[in-house]
Chain A
Amino acid sequence: MTHSTTTAASRGGDTGTAVQVKGPKGPSRGPASGGKRAAWLLAAVVVLAILAGASLAIGARGIPLGTVWEALTSFDPANGDHAVVHARIPRTVLGLLAGGALGLAGAAMQGVARNPLADPGIMGVNAGAALAVVTGIYVFGVATFSGYIWFAFIGAAVAAVVVYLIASLGRDGATPVKLALAGAALSAGLYSLMNVILVSSQDTLDRFRFWQVGGVAGRDWSVVLPGIPFLAVGAVIVLLTGRILNSLALGDDIARGLGQRVGLTRAVTALGIVLLCGTATALAGPIAFVGLVVPHAVRFLTGPDYRWILPFSLVAAPVLLLAADIIGRVVLLPGEVPAGIMTALVGAPVFVWLIRRGKGAGL
């Protein structure tokens, strides 16, 4: 700290001494540079591969990695260990797919809605899926996961479209606040309708509560395979929107000034989001926090550039989901804690921490 005498002398009265003001403290925080970001992305992919392997190995019946490799390369149907590994493959694949879809959809959602709180759940996706599944159980007697997925998907899609339409009424289109309000309203209403059925029919409740909890267990290829085309299309659409989301982040007016057709691009992105998120919810039930927390977390590495946030979210989210699933297998033996719970238990403190920091969340 240095002292210096008054520069412009005052002639009228007394002045305070001019004192050097301390500058802002702390190192300047910024995202990693382009090369570093690529390196981190690669690291994340490696971590994901390791987790996938762990997912095949860990569980109520632990299987050594060597055996896992054998099971994958030279499968022996008579070997009990190999069978377990094979049973875990669709589960792991689902974790990768659903996780990636949720992360991608969540990041895109935050960009489209310009709202750090945005989660595909606010677009009514989870509520629509839930009501449709309950209806499927009650009216059509559906009882298998592969049966649920079609209802869930249609319910999710219809709800999201309705929310979007309602929010876009009025002069300024689907603004973030209107999306949130419309989504909250529709969700609450749909959940209430769902409760009408659940309260009236215990059997329905009995079957539904297991879907409602969200997770990757108990689902085999008949569940996973039908979802893949939808996920692929949705992922392609969303991954291409990086530039668009960057412009939208500056505000509708500026985006238009930069030549973007705001209404159209928002609608197309929303389509991609619904495909991803509706399918993920259809396959794995409603899983909270992944779409909300992961995009925030990756911002520390990527900064606000959506061209990086999207691929990072695509890789980081399955890391979270698989980790949650793996931990859930071992933490409450002999039972399992579904991944949906673990993501909430892990996600909530992270979320809280993000709020406290205030930065990455854009608050």
Chain B
Amino acid sequence: MTLAPVMEQRRGRLSLNRTAVLAAGVVILFAVYVLLGSYTVTIPDFFRILAAHLTGGEKIPGASFIVMENKLPRAVIGTMIGLAFGLAGALFQTMLRNPLASPDVIGISYGASAAAVIAIVIFGASGAVVSGAALAGALAVAGLIYAISAGGALRGTSRGSAAGNRLVLAGVGIAAALHAVVNFLMTRADIRTAADALVWLNGSLNSANWDRAGVLFFALVVLIPAVAVIAGPLRILELGDDAAAGLGVRVNASRLALVIIAVTLAAVATAAAGPVAFVAFLAGPIARRFTGKASLPASALVGALIVLAADYFAANLAPLLLDGTVLPVGVITGALGAPFLLWLLVTANRKDA
């Protein structure tokens, strides 16, 4: 056997190791999130609380409540939406061969939050109804975008990127229109409602509870295996529509499936916690930098890391700087994500120079 296959295995193993590092990172961050912060819990106490909750035993006053009703559900939901956003972003960016084509840029996440704001301001809804509206909004926007750009996607000589451009364009256009509508509604509502709506426009884990976690969990149980199934055809679609068809991939059907899965991932995540900015956009590129190759599992894990880290900051460190205001996680991911993206851009540009 020549050296080459051995080196290839080594490279594959390296990427696997890095992904394992990411997974470990998520676990550690999860623990830090639940145990540390403005309210700390020791590890033995944590297990005691958990056991008490499951067996109905004696609870620790104060700590039980905070861990079980606040920190743990937030951490769980935060991890899940991170996974979902990370996957959704990576799927879109790979399929459309365009780093700009992430659901938060092309308006799908915004569609969800716009629907939520409409529900809040016009219909005075709250709670689960708003989440449901968010889900419906994301799917509606995605459907609309697809319908608008579908003509191009089916063209004979589609080079993928042309069809992708239409999709991005359509998405940006719809996002802008929704933006205007939302801004208008913000002027029509009273200030309290507007402030509530603002939170929905930003993505927040503040209303995390076990019901939401459960719904999100079941959604992911269905969606994540679906991603595993579609990952194979996706790898071939990366080679261009023609080459993929030549290799036996049913291009239109696979694309449609990919879009539906990715959109639903973004939609359920947005419905659970609002449009947490930048997670979908950045998870893929960061994962790629870290592991050396494009990887869906790594993107998912990076997404979870981003959300957990950002919310830790928002809930525990930001109030120290801002007189006690707890910031929504979306604001942090946006504020920190942008310089990060700029840094990615700058270093990528330097490589060319």
Contacts and interface: CB of A to CB of B under 8 A. Distances in A.
A contacts B: CB pair < 8 Å: yes
Interface of A: 116-117, 121, 166-167, 169-172, 178, 180-182, 184-186, 188-193, 195-196, 198-200, 202, 205-206, 209-210, 212-214, 288-289, 292, 337-338, 340-341, 343-345, 347-348, 351-352, 355-356, 358, 361, 363
A214 B183 contact: yes
B179 A288 contact: yes
B143 interface: no
B339 interface: yes
B338 A209 contact: no
Contacts, number: 167
Contacts of A212: 183, 186
12 contacts: A185-B338, A189-B334, A189-B337, A192-B338, A193-B335, A195-B328, A195-B330, A199-B198, A343-B180, A345-B180, A355-B169, A361-B169
B182 to A, nearest CB: 10
A222 to B, nearest CB: 22
A352 B325 contact: no
B345 A181 contact: yes
Contacts of B180: 213-214, 288, 340-341, 343-345
B353 interface: yes
A184 B105 contact: yes
Nearest to A182: B345
* Chain B interface, >50% SS class: helix
A341 B277 contact: no
Given A185-B342, A213-B183, A363-B162, A289 B176 contact: yes
B233 interface: no
Interface string B148-161: 11011000000000
A125 to B, nearest CB: 14
B285 to A, nearest CB: 11
Give the residue among A195, A343, A358, A361 with the most B Cβ atoms within 10 A: A195
Interface stretch (B39-47, B83-91, B187-195): B187-195
B140 interface: no
A112 to B, nearest CB: 18
Given A117-B168, A169-B349, A180-B100, A196 B335 contact: yes
* Chain A to chain B: the 7 pairs with minimum beta-carbon distance, closest first: A189-B338, A192-B334, A170-B349, A344-B180, A348-B177, A192-B335, A185-B341
A178 B349 contact: yes
Contacts of B105: 184
A237 to B, nearest CB: 26
Nearest to A177: B100
Nearest to A338: B184
B353 A189 contact: no
B202 interface: yes
Given A166-B346, A188-B278, A195-B328, 10 more contacts: A117-B172, A171-B353, A184-B100, A189-B342, A195-B198, A196-B335, A199-B328, A212-B183, A338-B184, A352-B148
